[in-house]
Homo-oligomer: A and B are copies of this chain.
Amino acid sequence: MKRIGMLTSGGDCQALNAAMRGVVKSIYNSGQEVEIYGFLNGYRGLIYGDFKMLTSRDFSGILTIGGTILGSSRTPFKTIKDPDENGLDKVEAMKQNYYKLKLDCLVILGGNGTHKTANLLRQEGLNVITLPKTIDNDLYGTDMTFGFQSAVDLATSVIDCIHTTAASHGRVFVIEVMGHKVGYLTLNAGMAGGADIILIPEIPFDIDKIAKKVEQRLKDGNRFTIIAVAEGAISKEDAKLSKKEYQKKLNNKKYPSVSYEVADLIQQKTGQEVRVTVPGHMQRGGSPCPYDRVFASRLGAEAGKLILEDEYGFMVGYRNREIVKVPLEDVAGKLKMLDPDAAIIKEAKMLGISFGD
């Protein structure tokens, strides 16, 4: 008999359910008896002992359903080491619930923040297996995360729609794409949507070069320009600031986000009409795309296998086209960023896409 705790933490994304279904199906199909404790709303459920017992029925029919049947939350991450408002030591509370329920292991699905905490729990002696979930694809130790391709599909569908409007009206359109501090999502959605300019955090931009590109397109007879801007994009000037100075600037900013700043500056410099679209949270919702369903199911199945073999302390990741186990200590606290000299960046430039650099 295995007693497994499971939780999803951080911003939700597509295929969380598919991944959990994979874990549970592979254990059930092995014939191993199992009890599954689903902790609600991320680490919060583990801290406060808020869970429900799940059976294989609960995982039936959820392959194609977005979100997470366990709920998620971001709250405890920032202050995981501190006591909560009632003085409760959160790490200690998680350990106690783990032991009280006599769990054999925890299956934790999450992104960067989640992995820091997961590694902390591992260091505290708990058996932990994690799965790499994020639309940002910024998790160290894996080439791919689930949620990413679904988010690319959605962000691209927005750019596709904007394209017809931009072309009809001869406007400049800025589409703000998610992706936290990295550019994978914006780069892929931008290339897929035929963006003319793509701004990502890894390549700080020069607003004058962007304006010049917009004007050049007009001269070449192109009535419109599509600009995909990562929510974490940054100008060359701002990139020179210290973290503190930049945060201060952000707090005082007159724009709700970098997209609006870029849009305003282009309008000022070129005199062209510029519009901004911010699809926002829709990028992390809806049914997972087939790629993510297959990928998350595979990762889940392999996580189940590790549990059956009592191998803990790993993230199940994907490297060089193989599903591999990556030690948690190699993942926690590290960010995977795009290399500005990566082949895909060079290819994008060959296609005529400007990065404003």
A188 within 8 A of B: yes
A281 within 8 A of B: yes
**In the bound complex, do residue A164 and residue B285 qualify as a contact, i.e. CB atoms below 8 Å apart?**
yes
Instruction: List, in ascending order, chain B residues with CB within 8 A of A11's CB.
Output: 169
**In the bound complex, do residue A290 and residue B153 qualify as a contact, i.e. CB atoms below 8 Å apart?**
yes
| Distance of A170 Cα from B8 Cα, bound (Å) | 14
Known: A298-B347, A301-B351. A280 touches B275 (CB 8 A): yes
Q: How many residues of A sit at the interface, in one of the four size bands?
A: 35 or more
> In the complex this chain forms, how many copies of it are found?
4
**Surface stretch bound by B, among A93-101, A124-132, A203-211, A320-328:** A320-328
Shortest C-beta distance, A90 to chain B (Å), equals: 19
A142 within 8 A of B: no
Residues 157-174 of chain A: 1 if any B CB is under 8 Å from the residue's CB, otherwise 0?
A: 110111111011110010
A223 within 8 A of B: yes
Cβ contact of A289, chosen from B153, B158, B170, B302, cutoff 8 A? B153
* Residues of A285-332 whose CB lies within 8 A of B: 285-286, 289-291, 293-294, 297-298, 301-302, 304-305, 320-323
Instruction: List, in ascending order, chain B residues with CB within 8 A of A283's CB.
Output: 161
* Residues of A245-289 whose CB lies within 8 A of B: 256, 275-286, 289
**Surface stretch bound by B, among A68-76, A80-88, A113-121, A227-235:** A68-76
Known: A12-B165, A192-B290, A344-B298. A282 touches B279 (CB 8 A): yes
A1 within 8 A of B: no
Shortest C-beta distance, A357 to chain B (Å), equals: 16
Known: A277-B279, A297-B191, A352-B29. A161 touches B321 (CB 8 A): no
**In the bound complex, do residue A168 and residue B323 qualify as a contact, i.e. CB atoms below 8 Å apart?**
no
**In the bound complex, do residue A294 and residue B192 qualify as a contact, i.e. CB atoms below 8 Å apart?**
yes
A202 within 8 A of B: no
**In the bound complex, do residue B286 and residue A164 qualify as a contact, i.e. CB atoms below 8 Å apart?**
yes
**In the bound complex, do residue A189 and residue B290 qualify as a contact, i.e. CB atoms below 8 Å apart?**
yes
Shortest C-beta distance, A31 to chain B (Å), equals: 12
| Distance of A143 Cα from B321 Cα, bound (Å) | 9
A186 within 8 A of B: no
Known: A66-B161, A304-B350. A280 touches B278 (CB 8 A): yes
Query: What are 18 residue pairs bridging A and B, where the CB atoms are less than 8 Å apart in the complex?
Result: A12-B164, A12-B165, A16-B168, A28-B352, A65-B164, A71-B169, A71-B170, A71-B223, A73-B170, A160-B285, A161-B281, A162-B282, A165-B281, A173-B281, A188-B294, A192-B290, A302-B347, A323-B343
Q: Which residues of A contact B (CB under 8 A)?
A: 8, 11-12, 14, 16, 22, 25-26, 28-30, 41, 63-68, 71-73, 143, 149, 152-154, 156-158, 160-165, 167-170, 173, 188-189, 191-194, 223, 256, 275-286, 289-291, 293-294, 297-298, 301-302, 304-305, 320-323, 343-344, 347-348, 350-352
**A-B contact sample (6 more), CB < 8 A, given A22-B351, A25-B351, A71-B167:** A67-B165, A157-B286, A192-B294, A276-B280, A278-B278, A323-B343
